[in-house]
Structure 1
């Protein structure tokens, strides 16, 4: 560690004199210290007489301090070493003083306070020098692109601090060296300056000698990433040395830093996967010691690195996220939600805590967080009325703060979950006014998704149908692609079907046939949920027993109106069941909707929006819709009970009839 000369602006204070002596002795090499102690204190130890010992300091900015032997008598405030004060006591005093001064640094809230504090000190150890730079960085760095103010750069104390670091980096401890380098990089010091070049060179020398411990390796790795980017050659050596360390030597902060370093090189994840597996297996043991910020950073890294095999770690992190929800910043909470959406993680305790947080602070939440919360509920199909009600109220009160994509995300969640909040009329009135005012600001695909979501919950966008069916809008929607994708054509087709079935008063343009689809049930972008195969098999067995033969019902019937019916049964005018091959004398068609768990909101009996609109449209098309939900089938204990259940569902007017 180096001794750094600072211009002293205040008078000599007794407590700083002591610190100066201790620091001066502490900062010499061990053999040098013993030599000083022997030469300066041996006569006193041998004679047993109390002789004075004083260290004189030079206060010019860029010179080293030199301990000198003097003949002055001891005065008040000067240190006197008696026979009982050995090297161990001196060592402990130095450590205690450094810890105390480091704590004092953390209390300062401006660079001026830090530099004024440094100016009062007789000497400054490398640890305190690095700590001072780190504190200046913390109070001055308000964003990633802001450097130091001019008054700080021109301050003589700051210049002296940097000069000594530049001249003698080899005298710094590993921790002080990498901490100083990190602070200077974050303060955007010129990468080609002698100061940074000397510090980086010293770090590289120690790295090649294998002299850096885990903590210093982590700080150095992240610092070089900022300075030289992920292509930095030295970074490979740092990661290699980290791989050779025992995981027990990593602190929670070190683990998170390693994740951040690897996150910066996602294209090299295959090279580091073995190391990542090792970290992923160890990390659950330190999750309880992570701060909210570190949890969000770890989750983000797991997403970037595509660690889908680390689900035990994600689940463990999820349990502790619940405790920290009130303490997350908006950005941190957003990262947590992004990770849970990515990994498909949901937890009822997390949802409960999220409900309480959103309901309590919904008017102060950032629109990006609000849209991310609704996206989480939508993706996981969680019908959370407290969250959706709060989101609706936030939009009504602060709609001008929401971007088009955020508005679309918000309305899409209501449509998908088939939910209308208590203030639905105010919500859609506000939405309609925004669309009238800013219609052209909405990207075509975003606008179509938004209006389609409105139709799912029976708030039909009649005033905008003429615009979205117009050739001009359809050309914008198609863009430069040769054909419009299937999902957009399916949404347009369902909106057109809505205009015909549910809005007969609409007399505007119709959707051109070339933009329509034949089926809403497609593999990649379906507006229907495929039937649950196991549930279908159970119902099929019951129907055969009830109707007497397989020929009396058809499965997966595609209607002329794009919907696919799970099971269709034909009835004549007297109510008798007809074979599926008969097309004459069909008086009524029964559509059985065999609704498995995926057609409902999570852990509820509430149909999703796309299933609700399907059943609504089938009824308007003349079908007798019979819903067979999975939770009712699961209650049946025998085959006979299943037959009786289907009989009641299909022939409720003839409940005494048995097959």
Structure 2
């Protein structure tokens, strides 16, 4: 009897695989999607229900009784075949229920597929709508009665998927049907009859209802920990990652299981497709698995070839992972450039923003990406929220870049700020305007509002205090007005809000001096000027900025001692710029450094830039002295000491 039961289960699973394969193929012919997208068609419902590809593929074909011993597409029950064909073309719950009503023999497959479609049609951006109307429908009530009375005869996959569908539709967890399905699930968990896939589907449903403290969830995790992880398929591994991600803020509680999964996933990583790759990377980020460096590197490497195939949501997960794990690959950036320039007008605002954040956080100035995003913003700004607009604009200022059609870009930004001014959070608005000044585009029309007591009051937190960095941004805006917008006659920032120096903000408003590079320059200056007393370092200037090196000259061009700088007729500032002051992939100064040098020049300082790429190749002191002489005193003879 055991052998007969096993054979029956195998036959039923085979039948359902054939049914869903037919369902998927038919969907392809209707919607003409790409082959890869179609292959994982059933995975599109990850935010709602039945997210695994095989969520209904291994259900028994019949609610009761035995099935035929051999199944092919041609001998699939005609009712089921017709139902799956019709289901593909439906777009509303009403249509699904009407189709169900017209179906006489409601098999396990039909019920599972109908529930899948109902949740799909009732879902918009992951939220379930009109669930009360669904519950009151007499056909839907018939399905519920069918599930409740036949819960013990349901296949495991139909059981857990039906349970999850009702959870997603907001069914009362204390209702009789939920109690019946939950009880049956508990029985099968206790008997160890569930596969990895079923355990994961059930586990995520339990998390949505009770959280990770639910006793049945603990039983599921105990079973998963006792399984042979190295026998799991890539899909099963991905599902367990997702389950842990849904139930844990970090993976410390099940770290031993995760370590086994990392090893197993690394061994099968070549089998992953774009969907699985992005999903696993997203889980690794959420579970803070930074120690899984080997797996992370492998998945990041494979993600390069999948960039053109990623959906927007998948691309977001990968970009977050690349940033979080600090993975750098120029080839990925090149492929991303091609993808964005080709697809930017069809990409979701969220995906566009994450592309910009990826470039911003890695200091990657990709002109093709920035140009494409700027053009998209000009034509589609209404699709972006105010917060997203800030996230889009800030990288331009941070990396000190304006697109070719800068006038249209800035003009449209100003138009958006005017039309949606009241919608912007004060802090968000300040970030945008500050970024504009970094790009040397001055928001004169908004300065009177920014400097008003009312606006500054709105910037305060609940305790009535202002974030010091906000004060730093306001101070820098004030300096910009004084130095670069001399025509502005409106209100100014009150003196009590002005900061005395920017060093207290670390690297936020100016990058701190690189000690190693400074020591190299210092030795050269000693040889050039004749001693340490002829220059000062890390000087706090009255203009809030920190001067890397300051040299004073009298009216005759003689170098003065640093103790007599007040008698200087001319002051020279050396900007010793290391790699951190430039974009990571080019020699473009960051916006904050460009603004600093711009302001110091307007304050009367002679700016001498000492970039790392010029001095790194100089090894001897004599070479450095000669270099500094040409940079600082290009028209004077060098004195020998």
Task: State TM-score, norm by structure 1.
Answer: 0.79
For residue 136 of structure 1, report the CA deviation from its aligned partner: 4.0
Partner of residue 586, structure 2: 604
CA contact (8 A) 1:105 1:131 kept: no
Is 2:181 aligned against 1:199?
yes
Report the Cα distance in structure 2 between the residues aligned to 1:64 and 1:432, rounded to whole angstroms: 63
Which SS does the other structure have where 1:383 is aligned?
coil
* 1:273-316 per-position Cα deviation (integer Å, ceiling 9, x unaligned): 33223323433333333343333333333333233333433333
Counterparts in 2 of 1:118 and 1:530: CA distance versus 1, 3 Å = same
Could you tell me how far 1:648 is from its partner in structure 2?
1.0
Of 414, 420, 429, the residue aligned with 1:432 is 414
Alignment correspondent of 1:615: 597
Give the aligned length: 577
Shift of 1:198: 2.6
Structure with higher Rg: it is 1
Distance apart, 1:327 and its partner CA: 2.8
Change over 3 Å in CA distance of 1:609–1:102 after alignment to 2: farther
Once the two structures are superposed, residues 525-574 of structure 1 have per-residue CA deviations (whole angstroms, 9 ceiling, x without a partner) of 63000111211121112222222222222110111111101111122222
Would the alpha carbon gap of residues 299 and 25 (structure 1) be closer, same or farther in structure 2, given more than 3 Å must change? closer
Q: 1:344: Cα distance to partner?
A: 3.3
1:533 and 2:515 equivalent? Answer: yes
Superposed displacement of residue 593, structure 1: 0.6
SS of equivalent residue, structure 1 residue 522:
helix
Q: How many angstroms apart in 2 are the aligned matches of 1:251 and 1:222?
A: 19
Among candidates 274, 287, 296, match of residue 314 of structure 1? 296
2:376 equivalent in structure 1: 394
1:476, distance to aligned residue in structure 2 (A): 1.6
Q: Is the 8 A contact 2:250 2:288 kept in 1?
A: no
Q: Partner of 2:347: helix, strand, or coil?
A: coil
TM-score of the aligned structures, taking structure 2 as reference length: 0.81
Structure-1 separation of matches of 2:520 and 2:82: 73
1:166 maps to what in 2? 148
2:190 aligned to 208, 211, 214, which one?
A: 208
Q: 1:164 to 1:642 in 2, by over 3 A?
A: same
Give the equivalent residue in structure 1 for 2:539: 557
Paired residues of 2:229 and 2:264 also in contact (CA < 8 A) = yes
Q: Please say if residues 199 and 220 of structure 2, whose CA atoms lie closer than 8 Å, have aligned partners that are also in contact.
A: yes
Q: Deviations over 1:370-409 (max 9, x none)?
A: 2222222111111010111111111111223322222222
Partner of 1:594: 576
Question: Helix, strand or coil: the match of 2:593?
Answer: helix
The reply to whether residue 548 of structure 1 matches residue 530 of structure 2 is yes
Counterpart pick for 1:145 among 120, 124, 128: 128
Write the distance in 2 (CA, Å) between the matches of 1:361 and 1:634. Answer: 40
CA distance change for structure 1 residues 479 and 174 in 2, over 3 Å: closer, same or farther?
A: closer
Q: What SS is found at the alignment partner of 2:403?
A: coil
Equivalent position to 1:340, from 322, 330, 339: 322
**What SS does structure 1 have at the residue aligned with 2:573?**
strand
Residue 478 of structure 2 corresponds to 496
Question: In the superposition, relative to structure 1, how do residues 524 and 579 fare at CA in structure 2: closer, same or farther (>3 Å)?
Answer: closer
Per-residue deviation, residues 412-470 of structure 1 (Å, max 9, x unmatched): 11111100111111111112223233323221111111111111111111222222112
- Tell me, yes or no, if the aligned pair for 1:569 and 1:578 is still in contact at 8 Å: yes
Counterpart check, 1:449 vs 2:431: yes
* Alpha-carbon contact 1:325-1:353 (below 8 Å) kept: yes
Tell me the CA shift for residue 626 of structure 1: 0.7
Q: CA 1:524–1:651 in 2, change beyond 3 Å: closer, same or farther?
A: closer
Q: Deviations over 1:328-375 (max 9, x none)?
A: 333333333333333333422222122112111222222232222222
Residue of 259, 262, 276 corresponding to 1:280: 262
RMSD: 3.4
Q: Counterpart in 1 of 2:349?
A: 367
Alignment CA distance shift 1:106-1:260 (3 Å): farther
SS class of match (1:333): helix
Q: Distance in 2 between matches of 1:468 and 1:539?
A: 41
* C-alpha distance 64-370 of structure 1, shift in aligned 2 (>3 A): closer
> Contact 2:577–2:612 (CA<8 Å) still a contact in 1?
yes
Q: Distance in 2 between matches of 1:175 and 1:271?
A: 28
For 1:195-240, what per-residue CA distance to the aligned partner results, in whole angstroms no more than 9, with x for missing partners?
A: 4333321221122233333232222212322344434221011111
CA shift digits 1:83-125 (9 cap, x unpaired): xxxxxx974559996799988876541446974896479xx5x
Structure 2 distance, partners of 1:453, 1:283, is 43
Residue number among 364, 367, 375 corresponding to 1:382 in the alignment: 364
Aligned to 2:18: none
In structure 1, stretches of 5+ residues that fail to align are: 2-21, 28-62, 68-88
- Following the alignment from structure 2 to structure 1, what is the Cα–Cα distance between the partners of residues 388 and 431? 12
Matched with 1:576 is 558
- Structure 1 residue 524, shift from structure 2 partner: 4.8
